[in-house]
Amino acid sequence: MALTAGGVAGQIIKHCMKLKGHEYCHAKYIDKGITITASDGTVREIYVNERLVPGETLRVVISDPRDAFVDKKVEPVAGDLDILYEDEDLIIVNKPSGLVVHPCHGHYYDTVANIIAYYYEQQGLDIICRSIGRLDRETSGALLFAKNKVAAGRLSNMREIGTSGRTYHAIAEGWLENDSDTIDKPIEQVPGVKLLRRTCESPAGQNAVTHYRVLGRSKLGDIPVSLVEAKIDTGRTHQIRVHMQSLGHPLIGDTLYGDRDKAGGFERALLHAASLECLQPFTNNKISIKAPYPRDFEQAMTYFL
């Protein structure tokens, strides 16, 4: 962190970097965990009670003790990684459709997390990444990972209070009557079917809110379709897909909630996280990233030109 005035390192860490003791204590016990860089470029380790002078830069390494995360070790696996943005604390990638975010049953080595682990392994970096808001397997687009535990906590809090989030683009069957609206319908798992969700009135349902606006209306062959922009206040499984289906406008290509005969030749629900906004967890600088459309969504967009 660059400084314009002198100060005690520990106080700068606490009041400028806003790190709590437990968040940076591990740095005191690792090689070059807390260092300053002088104006002539020389780097030296320091104690937190040392005083800096104008022109010096303070650096604190935030890392996770490896032994605390043995069970969370993700196997590095080579793969294509479309990086949209990266800094010391976070990385944003453009996830392709068909790829699971984290290892789970049946997907232990073919996930975004595996590929990111390999990416850092090749650089000799021991980084544990945590996703901040996941995407369904079928959904493509901007996906955010925190590169340390402190950043993960701050980014997760931003997501909860609404200072960060994604904007989705979707192509829905039919022409929506309203140009914009809010869908406020709880969602629950379909009894006996683990994968499926539905809207409900039951108090057991999870609160779910989706805001949408129509960007365009066209036809996919003989099928009327709408290009929709959506933002969600909550992150429920299949939320946008279920909410659009509840209006009678399932997403094109969605064989779970739509009509297979109206898929238009597309093999997945046409839903893409087109952009992502958040604040850098330590500087509070605004980060705004756009995720280019994958080939299938780009093809569908030609119907709206």
Whole-number Cα distances in Å, 247 to 33, 58, 66? 54, 54, 48
Query: Which 3 state secondary structure label does DSSP give 259?
Result: coil
Catalytic pick from 87, 136, 181, 261?
Answer: 136
136 is catalytic: yes
Task: Give CA–CA dist 229/150, Å, rounded.
Answer: 32
Residues in the chain, total: 305
Q: How far is CA 177 from the centre of its chain?
A: 31
Q: Which residues contact 11 (CB under 8 A, 6 or more apart)?
A: none
SS3 letters across 173-238: ECCCCCCEEEEECCEEECCCCCCCEEECCCCCCECCEEEEEEEEEEEECCEEEEEEEEEECCCCCC
Task: Give CA–CA dist 33/29, Å, rounded.
Answer: 7
Side chain identity, residue 155: L
Closest of 34, 71, 74 to residue 56, by C-alpha: 34
Q: How does 38-53 read in b/e, with b if 16+ C-beta sit within 10 Å? A: eeeeeeeeeebeeebe
Active site residues: 136
